Structure 1
């Protein structure tokens, strides 16, 4: 096994619990970020989603500021901001403001999807034609606001206070499209294997084979997403994971809702086809006790050679969620002392 130690990070969507509110979700998010910081997690990212009753992270930059102001060292960023939903100038100004407030702690992860359904996409973008095809141009425009030297034909519009600041840009993806773009630009790449595990290996290959060293990176840097439900015994972990299973099921059925309490028997809720689809997605992650995490985490590393794992853990009970991240951190230190 390699002596390299991959970093561990957290991806949070500020889940809204059944019977709870967005305000409750934000308080739990900050508490989780503080917990992750104490445990030694490297970064804490928040994802932009819209028109989803169970996700409170629609205004990711505001929530990033909330988390950064309540923590001290952990990097905080977007996992990600869906760039086609926004004017690049606005994104530059928002993250320039965040970096000015919290120097050296802000990441800008960018996605090319909308993070929502088509009707909400139209409400966000005011057009039905936006499909992410213009993402490379939007990215180029955004990068020139941060560093005007990247173009000789600058419009004269300046992003204050972003101009000249070092704000790491990441490209996010669930296919090889953004992987190739990240490689050509020499940017770090994060793959959404927590919900699209089938495309992981092809995207990693595309990224690494197309990588061109840049002033940002000398060699490829990959982060992959993992769904994690860790508990002190395997039965409890499987029980806790039924909340995530119900959440994915509601999306499959086109009826997204708040995060539900765990149940004893998912077979009473889903059909055989739904079970197969959701189980395949969750099986790539880690559901189990410390022994299961100890076995699977290094296996995933050996299969992917990822530089970093970003973990998402949609567990209904907040204390159990904190414990899940604690178990993974403790286990990782045993694997990579």
Structure 2
């Protein structure tokens, strides 16, 4: 099992320059600590998570790092032109010398995104799948002719071409049809921090049933916070997550009610890496035994940069080597 960092470009000080500088510093830190991957989220119209241009951020990180793999988590394809995405993906792959992982999704239950990007909610999944088909053709075929429901290309040659062929590709989804398609196409799958572990088990089962023997290359992202006692860690996590949970419960109740149960605060903390460092180590081993993720990705909860840095250093020192020795 590998370990990674999830980057959402927290902005507690309301200073975008500082937010970008701190996140870059954390990516450099985890590379030095021996982490394997860093994933950048795509969020829109959210001052507290200021990463709308995830591929631009990854291009910057490519020049700031040497070894760590860099991934998009995830490019929201209904809101983007697939030719532009393919050009940017190839560019990031070149700048990183073939260290890029591409994850895509249709976007969360945020009507404001669909409104402002003129993307109908009813067709967002179909548009995502067609856009990904177009992107792959552009990346790996010399000249692309394509006519679909949403996109038409007549003799398009992508410049530049990526270093990797294929680029490792992941689908951030929990939908049965999308999971089956991911298995059929050989994509990995990814689960976001709020997603229940029970749901992850179900997603893995559906993937493996669709194509027996297929490798889901499962990437699991979890909230992470440590304190001297488990009670203190849980109290901290409740304080950090409560505004997020309340906002997401309101949004999903209106736009996607079947997602609302995901955002139960106590359940979310129970499924996260929250507690003493011994609690976290035990949870990592339990997740490894239960779900066998390809990569376990940490999302530090504290808004304080020094605390996030200290928690990542503690994980690298006290958990990662212990788990590796046990494995």
Q: TM-score, normalised by structure 2?
A: 0.85
Whether 1:335 aligns to 2:327 is no
Question: For structure 2, which runs of at least 5 residues remain unmatched after alignment?
Answer: 147-152, 252-259
Alignment partner of 1:131 is 2:124 = yes
Partner of 1:299: 286
Structure 1 equivalent of residue 157 of structure 2: 158
1:247-326 alignment, distance < 5 Å: 247-253=244-250, 277-326=264-313
Matches within 5 A, 1:22-171: 22-112=16-106, 114-115=107-108, 117-125=110-118, 127=120, 129-148=122-141, 155-162=154-161, 165-166=164-165, 167-171=167-171
**Which runs of structure 2 are paired with 1:175-186 in the superposition (5 Å)?**
175-186=175-186
Matched, 1:244 2:237: no
Per the alignment, residue 195 of structure 2 pairs with: 195
* Inter-CA distance 320–332: structure 2 relative to 1 (3 Å threshold): same
Deviation at 1:127, TM superposition (A): 4.7
Q: Give the number of aligned pairs.
A: 309
Q: CA deviation at 1:236?
A: 4.3
Distance 1:247 1:193 in 2: 12
* 1:92 Cα deviation after fit: 0.4
Q: What are the superposed Cα offsets for residues 68-116 of structure 1, whole Å, 9 maximum, x if unpaired?
A: 221221111201101111111111001111112221111111112x246
Deviations 1:119-177 (A, max 9, x none): 32121135565432232222111110111179886731122113674322211123434
Q: Distance in 1 between matches of 2:162 and 2:315?
A: 38
The answer to whether structure 1 residue 226 and structure 2 residue 214 are counterparts is no
Query: Which consecutive residues of structure 1, in runs of 5 or more, have no partner in the other structure?
Result: 1-5, 255-272
Counterparts in 2 of 1:22 and 1:211: CA distance versus 1, 3 Å: farther
Q: Hey, what's the Cα distance between the residues in 1 that align with 2:233 and 2:114? A: 36
Q: TM-score, normalised by structure 1?
A: 0.83
Q: Mean alpha-carbon deviation: is it higher for 147-156 or for 80-89?
A: 147-156
Q: Is the 8 A contact 1:10 1:45 kept in 2?
A: yes
Q: Which stretch of structure 1 is more off in the superposition, 190-199 or 38-47?
A: 190-199
SS for the counterpart of 1:312 is strand
Which position in structure 2 is the counterpart of 1:257?
A: none
| Per-residue CA distance 1:180-221 (angstroms, 9 max, x = gap) | 2211111221122533444211101111222377xxxx7332
RMSD, aligned CA: 2.8
Greater per-residue helix proportion: 2
